[in-house]
Each structure stands twice: as structure tokens, then as C-alpha cells.
């Protein structure tokens, strides 16, 4: 039993099945991120935890107590919305302590809690202002202050940063992470931003079309995606997915791909990887950082392989240069050091780290494991 248990929870809005049998168990102090494209059911799940949506079937329990029929105010959770939902006519201080007042917490305690939260979020100098007199980032802090002041069992966040500009979003992301480390709070956080998911979470639930596609640590999700959807959704630039045929050569399974000139090239798969797949088609998954210039290659790689190929596009991005080349007729993006000498139209010797390669069954779309 976890701190927050979601057991076989489903949601139907009439004919629309918004969620199918979701099972997630969250430990105390975990930072669980729900990530996925628009309409996949993230907010629906969060709202069901909060008690703002009814549960069609299944059970949600907080600290061992089933909360299905429990009013939101009785669940000891706090939610921060994308819109912040601050009261425009109240001061920042009133906005933060309003919930405590409703719960009949005595004034001295409210004042003490306000002071603590004000200091934690560095908004002490804003307490007398109204929301209209604040910047977007400051409003966001006030909305978080209102959640923090209640000391809830679980914090729920629904895309709290999506109204902020890019720079502020990165700053606030770091603040939320610091806050989590400091407070050890249990958090469920919704975003459609895969970078936010990777940087904030202790675990990620990748969702699509009402299903949890994979639940795991950021490393597991990134290095061992369960299927093509997860592989394509997490990571930017996205994982390269190259059609390949499994052949045996020199006693080992190899992925046969074709280079830009249409000539077959072999990429050696780790021993024992997929002997059963000999002669069959797979999709070879290579992250851009697994395809580099030889000097930029990971020194710890055990299956580093050379691949000569014609360079298509080069895109300098400051610290790195992204290079596109053609493999099996698909664009394959490589991540090179900024000073690697790759020129469009010319041949280049790439280093491919096959330790990091993954493979997918093109039919079932599932990752092929040993």
C-alpha cells in the first residue's frame, strides 16, 4: 500500500472513455509527474484525486483511506491550477490565509503560517498587494503559497507553469524542485512538457489516450521506453527510429541499415540481444546523443561503432551541432560537438554507441527485450 493509491480507476464521460483502468501507487515524498499529449486524461485523473470529478469505477485511497465519496475539502489535499484562481479583490495575504480561515484556524496560527510561507517563497514584500498588481511569476508563487500554507498530505499541480514565459518557467521549475527537496512533500504534477517531467519527477507516468503507457523513473522512461509512443514522446530532438533487418554476422546479431548512398551497413547489437529476431524487421531506436563524432563519443561505451555516411543538414545549437543524415531512408539526427567538422554533402565518420540502442517490434510497437 502506498501513500496515495490509484486502483483500477476509470472515467467515462458518456460515450467518451477518458481513462482506462489506471493503476498507480505513490509513496510518501514522491514527486509523480503525469505527462502526455493534450486530451490524454491527465487533468481528469488529477481532478479525481482532488475530488473535483467523480470516479466511474475503481478506487482512490490517501493514507490507506478510500476517498471516493469524500468531499474535496475533507481530503487534506491542495491543488494549484494553471489559472492560479486567485481572488482578485483580496490581498496576497488574504488569498494565502483564506483557506485556513475557512477551516477556523485561529488568527495567531494563520499569521505564523503566512509568515513562514511568505519567507519560503520570498513574497513577504508583496503581502499587501492585490493579484492585479503582480507579475505572472509572482501570482504563481501566491498560488503555491496558498497550497503550502495548508500543510496538506498531497499537493496536486495542474500545469502550474504553462502561463509563464520560457525564462520564468525554467526559474520556477527549479524553485519547485528546491521546494520539494526541502519539504519532502508528496506531489502529483501534470504537464505536457517532457523536460519538466524529466527534471522534476522521482517517477513519471507517460499517458496516451486514457492509458498509462509506462510508469517509471525518468532514467527508465528515457533509456528503456516501453513502446514507440513513449520513445517518441520523451526526448528532444526525438529518438531516431530506423527500420533495420536483423542479420547474423561474425557470430553476433547485427542491425542492417542502408546509408545515404543506399549501401547496406551493419550495426552490431549487443550479444544475446535478439538472436530470435534473425531475418526480421525491427525499428532501431538511437537517441541523437548516441550518434556523435568519434572525439565526442562516450568513453565508457563498450559497443562503439563507426559509421561513414553523407551529411545532410547541419544545425549549430551553441554547445552542440545537430547533424541530419539518411539511414534506411529516414532522417537520423546526430548530436556532435560544436567544433566537429561535418559539412553538408560531405562524408563524415560517425560514432554510434550501440550500448544505448533499443529496438522495437514494428507490429506491436513494444520494445524488444532480451
Ligand X SMILES: Nc1ncnc2c1ncn2[C@@H]1O[C@H](COP(=O)(O)OP(=O)(O)OP(=O)(O)O)[C@@H](O)[C@H]1O
Binding site for ligand X (CB under 6 A): 13, 16, 18, 36, 38-44, 192
- Residue pair 192/22 in contact by the 8 Å Cβ criterion: no
- Work out the angle between the directed axes of helices 166-183 and 136-148 (0-180°, nearest 10): 20
Binding partner at 40 among Mg ion, ligand X, none, C-beta below 5 to 8 Å by kind: ligand X
Beta-bridge mates of residue 106? none
For binding to Mg ion (CB under 5 A), which residues are involved?
A: 43
Handedness of CA 335, 339, 344, 347 (dihedral sign): negative
Q: Which is nearer to ligand X, 6 or 269 (CB)?
A: 6
Please name which of 98, 99, 148, 105 lies closest in space to residue 123, comparing C-alpha atoms: 148
Q: Which is nearer to Mg ion, 43 or 186 (CB)?
A: 43
Sheet strands (E) in the chain: 4-13, 16-26, 31-35, 57-62, 65-66, 77-80, 154-158, 186-191, 203-208, 211-216, 240-249, 252-258, 264-268, 281-286, 291-292, 304-316, 320-327, 330-337, 347-353, 358-360
Q: Which is nearer to ligand X, 232 or 270 (CB)?
A: 232
d(CA 251, CA 370): 17
Provide the minimum distance between the beta carbon of 286 and ligand X in the complex, in angstroms, as a whole number.
29
Q: Which is nearer to Mg ion, 42 or 110 (CB)?
A: 42
Provide the CA 146 distance to its chain's centre, in angstroms: 25
Q: Which is nearer to ligand X, 161 or 269 (CB)?
A: 161
Provide the minimum distance between the beta carbon of 175 and ligand X in the complex, in angstroms, as a whole number.
22
Binding partner at 39 among Mg ion, ligand X, none, C-beta below 5 to 8 Å by kind: ligand X
The DSSP secondary-structure symbol of 156 reads E
Q: Which is nearer to ligand X, 35 or 134 (CB)?
A: 35
How far is residue 47 from each of residues 113, 137, 238, 243, measured CA to CA in Å? 26, 24, 30, 41
Q: Which is nearer to ligand X, 60 or 149 (CB)?
A: 60
Binding partner at 192 among ligand X, Mg ion, none, C-beta below 5 to 8 Å by kind: ligand X
Provide the minimum distance between the beta carbon of 162 and ligand X in the complex, in angstroms, as a whole number.
9
d(CA 310, CA 297): 19
Binding partner at 16 among Mg ion, ligand X, none, C-beta below 5 to 8 Å by kind: ligand X
Provide the minimum distance between the beta carbon of 207 and ligand X in the complex, in angstroms, as a whole number.
7
Provide the minimum distance between the beta carbon of 266 and ligand X in the complex, in angstroms, as a whole number.
42
- Residue pair 310/261 in contact by the 8 Å Cβ criterion: yes
Provide the minimum distance between the beta carbon of 347 and ligand X in the complex, in angstroms, as a whole number.
44
Provide the minimum distance between the beta carbon of 158 and ligand X in the complex, in angstroms, as a whole number.
7
Binding partner at 38 among Mg ion, ligand X, none, C-beta below 5 to 8 Å by kind: ligand X
Please name which of 211, 255, 237, 258 lies closest in space to residue 320, comparing C-alpha atoms: 237
Amino acid at each position: 500500500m502506498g501513500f496515495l493509491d490509484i486502483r483500477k480507476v476509470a472515467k467515462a464521460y458518456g460515450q467518451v472513455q477518458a481513462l482506462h483502468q489506471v493503476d498507480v501507487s505513490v509513496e510518501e515524498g514522491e514527486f509523480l509527474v503525469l505527462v502526455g499529449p493534450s486530451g490524454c486524461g491527465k487533468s481528469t485523473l488529477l481532478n479525481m484525486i482532488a475530488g473535483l470529478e467523480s470516479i466511474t469505477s475503481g478506487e482512490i485511497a490517501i493514507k490507506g483511506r478510500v476517498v471516493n465519496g469524500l468531499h474535496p475539502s475533507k481530503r487534506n489535499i491542495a491543488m494549484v491550477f494553471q489559472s492560479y484562481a486567485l481572488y482578485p479583490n483580496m490581498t496576497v495575504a488574504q488569498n494565502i490565509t483564506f483557506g485556513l480561515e475557512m477551516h477556523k484556524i485561529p488568527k495567531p496560527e494563520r499569521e505564523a503560517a503566512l509568515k513562514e510561507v511568505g519567507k519560503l517563497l520570498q513574497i513577504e514584500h508583496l503581502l499587501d498587494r492585490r493579484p492585479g498588481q503582480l507579475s505572472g511569476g509572482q501570482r504563481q508563487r501566491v498560488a503555491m503559497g496558498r497550497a503550502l500554507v495548508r500543510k496538506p498530505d498531497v499537493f496536486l499541480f495542474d500545469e502550474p507553469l504553462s502561463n509563464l514565459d520560457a525564462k520564468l518557467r525554467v526559474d520556477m521549475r527549479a524553485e519547485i524542485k528546491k521546494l520539494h527537496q526541502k519539504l519532502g512533500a508528496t506531489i502529483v504534477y501534470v504537464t505536457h512538457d517532457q523536460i519538466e517531467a524529466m527534471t522534476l519527477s522521482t517517477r513519471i507516468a507517460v499517458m496516451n489516450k486514457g492509458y498509462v503507457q509506462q510508469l517509471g523513473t525518468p532514467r527508465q522512461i528515457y533509456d528503456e521506453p516501453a513502446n514507440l509512443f513513449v520513445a517518441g514522446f520523451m526526448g528532444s530532438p526525438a529518438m531516431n527510429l530506423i527500420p533495420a533487418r536483423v542479420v547474423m554476422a561474425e557470430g553476433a546479431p547485427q542491425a542492417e541499415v542502408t546509408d545515404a548512398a543506399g549501401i547496406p551497413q551493419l550495426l552490431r547489437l549487443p550479444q544475446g540481444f535478439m538472436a530470435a529476431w534473425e531475418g526480421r524487421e525491427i525499428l532501431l531506436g538511437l537517441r541523437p546523443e548516441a550518434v556523435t563524432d568519434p572525439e565526442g563519443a562516450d568513453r565508457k561505451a563498450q559497443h562503439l561503432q563507426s559509421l561513414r555516411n553523407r551529411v545532410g543538414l547541419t544545425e549549430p545549437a551553441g554547445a552542440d551541432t545537430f547533424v541530419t543524415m539518411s539511414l534506411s531512408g529516414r532522417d537520423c539526427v546526430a548530436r556532435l560537438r560544436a567544433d566537429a567538422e561535418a559539412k553538408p554533402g560531405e562524408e563524415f565518420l560517425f560514432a554510434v554507441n550501440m550500448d544505448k540502442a533499443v529496438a522495437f517490434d514494428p507490429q506491436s510497437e513494444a520494445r524488444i527485450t532480451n
